[in-house]
Structure 1
Amino acid sequence: MSDALERLAGAGVAVWLDDLSRERLESGTLAELVAERHVTGVTTNPTIFQQAVASGVAYERQLADLASLNVPVGEAVRLVTAQDVRAACDVLRPVFAATSGADGVVSIEVDPGLAHDAARTVAEARLLWWLVDRPNLMIKIPATVECLPAITACLAEGISVNVTLIFSVERYQAVTEAFLDGMEQARAAGRRLDDINSVASFFVSRIDTEVDARLDTIATRQAHALRGHAAIANARLAYEHHERVLGTERWLRLAENGARPQRPLWASTGVKDPAYDDTRYVVDLVAPGTVNTMPEATLAAVADHGQVRGDRVRAHYDEARHVFKSLAAVGVDIDDVVSQLEREGVVKFQKSWTALRDDVAAAMTRKVS
């Protein structure tokens, strides 16, 4: 019998790794995961890079060179992270070729400090697209209200986009509109639509963490019974909207011109509550045409004991709606939940970005002194 990760791929789920570091690249472990664990993509974020730079010595030579040239810290951060992403793109390039550009992609995030500034987000996206200079790159742009126009603008210019920090179905609906607008503008400009890739990253486990905490505060039997149900229900309803979009005339016209669907991507799939099965945000969100990006621990857990049972999304839309009705009935305001999670997500990545800059600055200072 094929392994669980292979069964995921067979069910239409692209397996991506939510991690990257210079050490992983130089040791060959990323290449091993691609060859042996069905990994077909990589996602990064400021926290991943901060941890990579803080924990290893693999960046010392490059940082010493940049310090000797008096490169500003902000530019040094871009150069260091872009080098890792460029190298990862090269590792994934055979997958990109074998899938005709559908997979084999690597994501890099714009400065999270720009999360409420569309114009500067587009400028940074252009810079990163030029700096990494690989066709299998995706630029991560947050799904804040302010950055929805940036998503459209980048796609219109032919820049592939990973829309990140999506928590609500309502915001996801706005993201799909931004995607369609951008692809239509790209078509009007005469661009090849099959050269443009996009995913919409729905954060999963953080929904349960916040909703469960509120349910524990309510502390009724009905509330307790709802623990651990919100995140998967939320993702399932997002996929329902994805299916609706694929049936619209707007999308069908784009598809006729070679456009690829904007795939739903399940992010934040590491389980936070040890009482839950550590593969639940993977095996219970299997649906065709999706991406699941996992930290290595989750990837290993799925490979070891994940029970892939085919599509676990499309037959559960009514059940998902019932979960949200029940949450409202016990007093959980889901709109407040997702608003809080978006604010916290932006702040978390901003703090990680600041810590990354501080770590790079300290390392460069040590090399100069």
Structure 2
Amino acid sequence: MRGAHRAPRRTFGRRYLLGLAALGVIPVAAAGVQQFRGPETPAAATTSPGRAPDPAPTTSTGPLPAAVAKGGGTVPFRAGKAMLGAYLALSGRTAKQALALRREQTGRDLRIVHVFYDWDDQLPRSVTGLPENGIPMVSWRGTSFADIINGSHDDLIARAARRLKAQDRPVLLRWGWEMNGDWYAWSAARNNKNPDGYIESWKHIHGIFAEEKADNVSWVWSPNWNSSPVADWNTYATLYPGDAYVDWVGVSGYNLHHETPETLFGPIYRSYSTRKPIMITEVGAVDDGGRTKADWIGLLAEWVTGHPAVGAVTWFDTDTHPGYAERWRVDTNPQSLAAYVALARSARFSG
């Protein structure tokens, strides 16, 4: 999700400034970014929710395609069961304390614990507070396509593979997410409008992981729900690495302007649900007062129930997202928490 999220950029939003900082065009401080990380501390997510005029509604017609019955690699898809996960960062609480709070509220553990790392970070050998049956999902930022394809980062990639292999448990790896946007250094838009470069980069990384025998890694390809810019070279199809290189198809989508779950997730579902299990890798909803957020969580639960290829949902569960007032955590009010608890305890989310 980017600053303007979907509308043409009219001002320089925070994500745009972050991109310029990453490219060295402006100092990082000018983008309002301060990150202090030790060797095992993940980078905070840099998605930048923003507000824009409501988009035109999107609807789908006709019957749903047949749902995939298997897949997922080392994190297997279970038909009729969706795993519940979250990127969890709550003000004033450690990771363990945040997980404990959600366990107390919902009466269950998260199945997926989502963490973010920069390209040159050491990827984690373990994830703090991970439940016994939990699965880490590592969102690993990228870099320019050329720097991957030319082999100059092969040692870094091999080190990353060895560290994830050392977890000795299934790991979801979400490399280079939202590549169909224009807000990250690894997007096609920032690499000469070259989707083939993204695919070649993905396959290069995938190959090194195979050489390192990091066979516990399940690969999550995860575009944004809509593309920016809208162009033939920036579609799902042109950026898809291929079935042999992808275990889960993910998607980021946030209810910022009264979008329905079908608007956010229907297109990716209809494009890939016959071939791969679907994972909603980032989702959240703006609280506009009253039951607005609670009702949307209920709509999401209903949508997932009606779409059997969805095998996982991970909430962007935080109130520490820098620079933005929206609180994405699920307990912004009692009604929202109750709706989330109902979702978490339902049979559909018992994966």
TM norm structure 2: 0.47
Max radius of gyration: which structure? 1
From the two aligned structures, give the one with the greater helix fraction. 1
From the two aligned structures, give the one with the greater strand fraction. 2
TM norm structure 1: 0.45
